[in-house]
Structure 1
Amino acid sequence: MASDTPAAGDFGQQLRALRTGAGLSQEALAHACGVSVRALADMERGRTRGPQRRTVQALAAGLALDEAAARRLERAAAPGRPRPRTASAPAAPHALALPRDIQDFTARGPALARLCDLADRAGAARAVVSVVAGQPGLGKTALAVHAAHRLAPRFPDGQFAVDLHGMDPEPVAPYDVLGRLLRAAGVADGAVPVGTDDRSGLWRSVLRDRRVLLLLDNAADESQVRPLLPGTGPSLTVVTSRHALAGLESVHRVDLALLRREEAVELLSRIVGPERVRAEAQAARDLAELCGHLPLALRIVGQRLLSRPHERLGKLVSRLAAEGRRLDTLRAGSLGVSAAFALSYAQLRPEARAFLRRASLAAGPDFSPATGGLLAGLSCADATVCAEELTDAGLLHSDPVGERYRFHDLLRLYAAERLAAEDGPRVREAALDRTDRWVLRRATAAALRFDVEHHQDAPHGDPAPDGAPADREEARAWLEAERFQWLAALRRAHETGLHRQVVDTAEAMHWFSDLNQHWEQWVEVFRRSADAARALGSRRLEAVHLNYLAWAYNLCVHDPRAALETADAALAAARDGEDGLQTGWALGYGAGALHRLGLVEEALARMREAARSFGAQDSPQARPAELSLLNALGGYLRQAGRPAEALGIHRRCERICDAGPPGLPDELIATYRAVARQQIGNDLAALGRRHEAEAPLRSALAHFQDLRMPAWAEPTRLDLGLVLGALRHPEARETLLAARDALAALGNPRQAEAVTALAALDEPVAGA
């Protein structure tokens, strides 16, 4: 090679000139000489002014320099080399010193206690290693540095901190880190081995008898960390990483969670001053929520407010409340939430980046790999691999039990931003359309398994039969887990005019909805299906779905006025369509609404008309409808003070069920029998025959529990508890407590009855 390069001058300048003159990129030269790209870049930029002779020789060989050019490069490197120390010389006082601790460090008491406990365990037999991993912005480095400063007196032989640059395109190589650590520990330059394995062995030997605290911050992966870990000896190593580093053996793990709200507000107080936070306490709590309790976001908000001492906290709340601007607002100087997320994002494979972006479209608080795969256009297996990769990278959280994943709020916003920037509206809409079609088909097939009139023993119309729910239990689990996803798909289908699909899905949900009466979403489902039926021009279909909607207003959200208005609209549509069955149901739902409004006589009259309407029909669907209306009619009579008349009606219902009406599935008959027995128990209790009431109530409760029908079981449990309480039965308190808590969780207003009954148990018995 020609040797006309400068004979003197800065080593980095000469190296750059030689490389570019040879037509080599940094990556190509690094590969040729066995030096990392990062180390090569540091040399060219002047960060490393005097590389060792063997490194210069490797560079000269990679550049194919002649002897004279190689000597000139060696002479340029020599002045920048530090003077050699003896092996016994002490480490330079600032070599690999701990970073500055932050004075406003907040919370993390359990994590700090864990690290202190680990420091106490460090002994001669085995060095202690702790991994602090988690999503960007949790404050992993802040915790590790704060703990290191607190623990420093326990490690008199040195405290070393190394930033491993795990998020950089070229993380620091273990070879280079070991060289720095050995020199900081007092090993002379000439005694530092050439190979990584030899350096690692010497490092373990050096620490065998020393109490050293080692902080390895921002690790890329296990292969980077493993050579740096001590073997035996009384040292403590703390590793931080955005990745889980699950492959490291025999390490302790410190899990960081998001701050609690009070901790988040305390962090703001420590940064901006308690006076400002006390003056706007609610705004401070709102800021904590908008920051998702993420320490990095809270620190950015605090620093911003600190630099603007006259700005009100409420002003910043208003800015952050605009989701489209939140990540832009979360920036203060060199600190930025988006920048922190971007470092992790850049490390991902293209498939994982696409998965993260498009998973931001998933509805609800969490999502399955299947949903993420549909959105990203990946198979379920590939989607699971991506989800696990993102979890290991701290960008998703995995459910501790199920195969589901969730975002932190700010990470979801970041993923949505990347989706808009990298994929655009066409890809976004295609992903949603593909997912919605699949999800609605699966939801419809799963819901049909609960149709007692046309029970589906095998998936019908499922988009992936081989992976479809195998039975009712699996179908229930899928429908419940994916509730937000199929509801969002139904919503978009309605908004885009896919009326038949909306009606078919809602119709399939009819029987399943009975098992989950506590879901307020049924109002939206059936309101949309009624609108879709109207758009299709079918008065009969409109009557069906308006009746479903009236049911939802009555039983799911307890809004009798809306239920009555809807039932009247259903009645008009049913009569227009000459549908006797829907006419009867509309009368029945209207009666239920009237009864809840306190219009008892009107309710009874309409309920009797509904029962007569069903009784006059011969269709198989009319018999269960008649049973439903008779059971309800008896309940209204009991509440009107006519329990004997109610008992006669409910005994009649029980006899009809025992006779087995033709054309009805056994399971459906058993459910109507259970409803009748619940009513019979209440009738007997109202008649003062409480000892007789206990058995039918227990029978009904057992049936509803076996079918996992909480909306039916828990009111029955309350009825049983009321009877047991009146009898001063030893199970009364336990039964009423369980009913109170379950009814509260269901949002059922009857929870107040349980509270009153529990209070009555503590009152003395009259005459006792």
Structure 2
Amino acid sequence: MDTGTPAGGAFGAHLHALRTGAGLSQTDLAQSAGVSVRGLSDMERGRSRGPQRRTVQALATALRLDAAAAQELERLASLGRPRPASAKAARPAAGLTGTGDTTTSQTSPARAAAHHTLALPRDLSDFTARGPALDRLRALAEDLDAARPPIAVVCGQPGLGKTAFAVHAAHTLAPYFPDGQFALDLRGMDTEPVQPRDALARLLRALGTPEDAVPASTEDRAGLLRSVLRDRRVLLLLDNAATEDQVRPLLPGHGPTFTLVTSRHALAGLEAVHRVELALLRREEAVELLSRVIGPERVQREAQAARDLADLCGHLPLAVRIAAQRLAARPDEHLAKLAGQLAAHEDRLDALRTGSLQVRAAFALSYRQLDEATRTVFRRAALADGPDVSPETAALLAGLPLRRTARCAQDLTDAGLLQPHPTSDRYRFHDLLRLFATEQTTEEDTPADITAARTRTDAWMLRRAAAAAQLFNPDHQPDTSGGDPDPATAPAGQEQAHAWLEAERTQWLAALHRAQAAGRHQQVLDAAEAMHWFSDRVMHWELWADVFGRAVDSARALGSRRDETVHLNYLAWARTTCRYDHTTALGTAQAALALARESGDRLQAGWALNYAARALNGLGQTDQAIAHLHQAADCLSHQSDAQSRLAELSTLNLLGQHLRQVGRPDEALAIHRRSEALCRAGIPGKPHELISLYRASAQRHIGNDLAALHRWQEAEAPLRHAAASFETARMPAWSEPVRLDLGIVLRRLHRTGEARAILTAAHEALVRLNHPRQLEAATQLRLLDEADGVDGHGSTTGHTRSQ
């Protein structure tokens, strides 16, 4: 199709030969020349057909070519660039007239060369990246179908360089459109954007229509424009569009016209268009832009500072360009100095300005276009904690109904001020836009407004979090007072509750912090108590030490010794099980034990001895741990209530585990059989599903006891049952260690294929959970690969407070 392709291939092959002849890797040459590795790779493979002169010169300098060799490299590059307009115009093209026949376009040289008032703006010689997007537009131009003239909409958040990209693309594609290239600013960010009637008049006059021949009505002008464009090979750049209604009358009907539209809005209502959604630059592309503006030498001298600058600019093209041009105007200023100024979070937007270019001004243009409610949602969403925000949280912060907030969030997405999550109903800010939103909150909302928004949101969040977590409590009774703040939208069942608690955990944890700081201690205790059973499902969350530590402080502030004892026990569990801080956990459990004995609370005393034993075992003091567990079992066995039976089951399971660890598997097996018998007998008042989980825990231990006795075949069945029970209950922190135990048994039974599959799955899951047994799983996989068949058996190090 294009004779530039072979030439582009010749340039790439020649460049590859020069680089390899110089003994350089692609990374070496890319860094020396100030180009991206991807860009260099595209050149060598012939995907980038004709790089710009500046790029070729940088490559020649990095390769240390003499004048003749550099000239030859430039000659090959020039052959790969698009041919002049005259060459393109002479090429026969099918279907270029509106009639759909195969006659060629009868382009008038005078018309192609005519001057007009809508000439393209100046292209940027240092334009960087966007190669794939340019390639897609080039493909549209090369395969242009006059029956369906292409319309490409370039959209995205403020600062992505949409206009710069479109102008660069228009200049790049100009040779394909010898009848002219026309650029019209529709001024979509102004208070009064250009009216379609006026835009049509300007386009018609630029295309050669006499003033007195331009019709009066918008409809007639649109029809005349379509007629004029029917047989002309023209490129239209409609920049900064406001709405679909503004753009539609300006679009061609049939003919070889290519239309580029840029907008800060998605223009989702435009039909049959090609969408080019620009993304943030990659870090290496941002650094390449710096290199092109200030020169590769400065970037190479401060390579890390250049990368830091790219990150601090959020890889936003406008911000990177502002930083680069500021440095270009100050040739002696170090990159590290500017990086330090940008690192001052509150001053970053002040630092990102040079001359008339300002990141803040670019954002403000879009912000001013919003209605009052949408501006409020934008500002208040910046008060949310965590990397993203849900419509519910935004509605609470804004003080608006959920449905109204959801519409505002969509409008903010269309305006490029919020980024939607690809799979869930959540939104996030670009870092610099969050700073801008925070500025607007400070300027437009009073401190009282902000405090009220946060208090309202925090109270709602903690009530929802407590209600969701209570769904995991086997004793939970629905419809109790103080339940979910909005039953109509409450999670239905454990799966939805888990998903909500996961998605909003940063938000509800921050709400817990603020509640305690504000002295709302009962709110803190209620939320932490509700989390107790749920925390068993996600033991890998290190935040539990924070949650229960704050509950202890709130209990002390309220003077509640019982709550203090209970949450000291929870805290001891979290420190040893979630954070593996056994020394601190031991001290915490001992403090709980002292309080429990002081008040005569035998249940909490039993739990404190249990948690102290876990910590002692983690510190390698297994004999002392066993002694503590014997005390705990004795303490609990004299109690008749259901909670004491559950604590006894947990204690017996742990006692047997420690006995197995010190080489007493026969005693361990007897203890775990006793635990299983208690489960079979049942506990009055406790649901069957809960007791089934305790029984699964006992069966896991029974399987490992049998494995320790080398009774491999007997060990398989109880381990399979335990793994299936925990998996059904969606408790990966429990099921995956059991899966590892099962894989070990299968390896010892020489069922290699099955063992490998189970051990691989267990290893991957344990890594995701950051479980301490992940290394053991990796070792077991290595043992499978060893020809000598080294023997080994698993040890169960998982702990449980509730089982």
Conserved 8 A contact 1:449-1:457: no
* 1:370 aligned partner: 392
* 3-state SS of paired residue (2:260): strand
The number of aligned residues is 683
* 2:780 aligned partner: 757
Conserved 8 A contact 1:90-1:185: no
Counterpart-to-counterpart distance in 1, 2:729 and 2:316: 42
**What do the CA deviations read for 1:551-588 (whole angstroms, capped 9, x no partner)?**
11111122112211211221122222321111111111
**What do the CA deviations read for 1:525-562 (whole angstroms, capped 9, x no partner)?**
11111100111112211011111111111111221122
1:348-747 aligned within 5 A: 348-456=370-478, 461-726=483-748, 727-747=750-770
Counterpart-to-counterpart distance in 2, 1:735 and 1:321: 47
Conserved 8 A contact 1:121-1:128: no
**More displaced stretch, 640-649 vs 192-201:** 640-649
* 1:280 aligned partner: 302
Conserved 8 A contact 1:587-1:609: yes
Counterpart-to-counterpart distance in 2, 1:701 and 1:158: 70
* 1:269 aligned partner: 291
- Structure 1 pair 101–724 and aligned structure 2 pair: CA distance change class (3 A): farther
- Structure 1 pair 760–106 and aligned structure 2 pair: CA distance change class (3 A): farther
**More displaced stretch, 386-395 vs 142-151:** 142-151
Conserved 8 A contact 2:783-2:789: no
**What do the CA deviations read for 1:173-205 (whole angstroms, capped 9, x no partner)?**
111111111111111112111111111111111
Counterpart-to-counterpart distance in 2, 1:389 and 1:478: 25
Counterpart-to-counterpart distance in 2, 1:143 and 1:723: 61
* 3-state SS of paired residue (1:249): coil
Counterpart-to-counterpart distance in 2, 1:692 and 1:129: 70
Counterpart-to-counterpart distance in 2, 1:544 and 1:368: 33
Counterpart-to-counterpart distance in 2, 1:208 and 1:335: 39
2:166 is aligned with 1:137: no
Counterpart AA for 1:653: S
- The TM-score with structure 1 as length reference comes to 0.86
Counterpart-to-counterpart distance in 1, 2:207 and 2:218: 17
Conserved 8 A contact 2:413-2:420: yes
**What do the CA deviations read for 1:690-736 (whole angstroms, capped 9, x no partner)?**
22222222211111111111211222222222223333431222222
Counterpart-to-counterpart distance in 1, 2:516 and 2:287: 42
Extract structure 1 runs of 4+ deviating beyond 3 A.
88-92, 455-460, 765-768
CA apart distance, 1:672? 0.5
Conserved 8 A contact 2:783-2:790: no
Conserved 8 A contact 2:657-2:701: yes
- Structure 1 pair 89–252 and aligned structure 2 pair: CA distance change class (3 A): closer
CA apart distance, 1:663? 2.3
CA apart distance, 1:232? 1.3
Counterpart-to-counterpart distance in 1, 2:402 and 2:788: 63
* 3-state SS of paired residue (1:209): coil
* 3-state SS of paired residue (2:684): coil
- Structure 1 pair 732–112 and aligned structure 2 pair: CA distance change class (3 A): farther
**What do the CA deviations read for 1:711-766 (whole angstroms, capped 9, x no partner)?**
11222222222223333431222222222222122121211112212222211145
CA apart distance, 1:92? 4.1
* 1:293 aligned partner: 315
Conserved 8 A contact 2:390-2:425: yes
CA apart distance, 1:389? 0.6
* 3-state SS of paired residue (1:104): coil
Conserved 8 A contact 2:715-2:745: yes
Counterpart AA for 1:732: A
CA apart distance, 1:767? 11
Counterpart-to-counterpart distance in 2, 1:228 and 1:607: 81
Conserved 8 A contact 2:112-2:180: no
- The TM-score with structure 2 as length reference comes to 0.83
Structure 2 counterpart of 1:178, from 190, 200, 218: 200
2:349 is aligned with 1:311: no
* 1:125 aligned partner: 147
Conserved 8 A contact 2:112-2:179: no
2:227 is aligned with 1:210: no
1:30-45 aligned within 5 A: none
Counterpart-to-counterpart distance in 2, 1:105 and 1:762: 52
* 3-state SS of paired residue (2:753): coil
Conserved 8 A contact 2:752-2:784: no
CA apart distance, 1:430? 0.8
CA apart distance, 1:260? 1.9
Counterpart-to-counterpart distance in 2, 1:291 and 1:767: 54
Counterpart-to-counterpart distance in 2, 1:185 and 1:496: 68
CA apart distance, 1:457? 6.9
Conserved 8 A contact 1:152-1:213: yes
* 3-state SS of paired residue (1:218): strand
Conserved 8 A contact 2:111-2:179: no
* 3-state SS of paired residue (1:664): coil
* 2:211 aligned partner: 189
Counterpart-to-counterpart distance in 2, 1:634 and 1:714: 20
Counterpart-to-counterpart distance in 2, 1:734 and 1:105: 50
CA apart distance, 1:413? 0.8
* 3-state SS of paired residue (1:730): helix
Counterpart AA for 2:583: R
Conserved 8 A contact 2:463-2:482: no
- Structure 1 pair 208–325 and aligned structure 2 pair: CA distance change class (3 A): same
* 1:226 aligned partner: 248
CA apart distance, 1:261? 2.0
CA apart distance, 1:276? 2.2
Counterpart-to-counterpart distance in 1, 2:736 and 2:751: 20
Identity %: 63
CA apart distance, 1:89? 6.2
Counterpart-to-counterpart distance in 1, 2:468 and 2:690: 19
CA apart distance, 1:109? 2.2
Counterpart AA for 2:401: S
Structural RMSD (CA): 1.9
Counterpart AA for 1:737: T
**More displaced stretch, 221-230 vs 717-726:** 717-726
Counterpart-to-counterpart distance in 2, 1:147 and 1:682: 66
Counterpart AA for 1:199: R
* 3-state SS of paired residue (2:642): coil
Counterpart-to-counterpart distance in 2, 1:728 and 1:274: 59
2:186 is aligned with 1:199: no
**What do the CA deviations read for 1:348-394 (whole angstroms, capped 9, x no partner)?**
00000011101100111111111101111101011101101101110
Counterpart AA for 2:123: D
Structure 1 counterpart of 2:347, from 309, 314, 325: 325
Counterpart AA for 1:750: R
Conserved 8 A contact 2:322-2:357: yes
CA apart distance, 1:94? 4.8
* 3-state SS of paired residue (2:240): strand
Conserved 8 A contact 2:512-2:524: yes
* 1:66 aligned partner: none
Counterpart-to-counterpart distance in 2, 1:430 and 1:297: 34
CA apart distance, 1:455? 4.4
Counterpart AA for 1:262: E
2:272 is aligned with 1:250: yes
**What do the CA deviations read for 1:271-328 (whole angstroms, capped 9, x no partner)?**
2222222222222222222211111111111112222222222222221122111111
**More displaced stretch, 380-389 vs 702-711:** 702-711
**What do the CA deviations read for 1:87-107 (whole angstroms, capped 9, x no partner)?**
x96674253111222122222
Conserved 8 A contact 1:132-1:140: yes
* 2:89 aligned partner: none
* 3-state SS of paired residue (2:306): helix
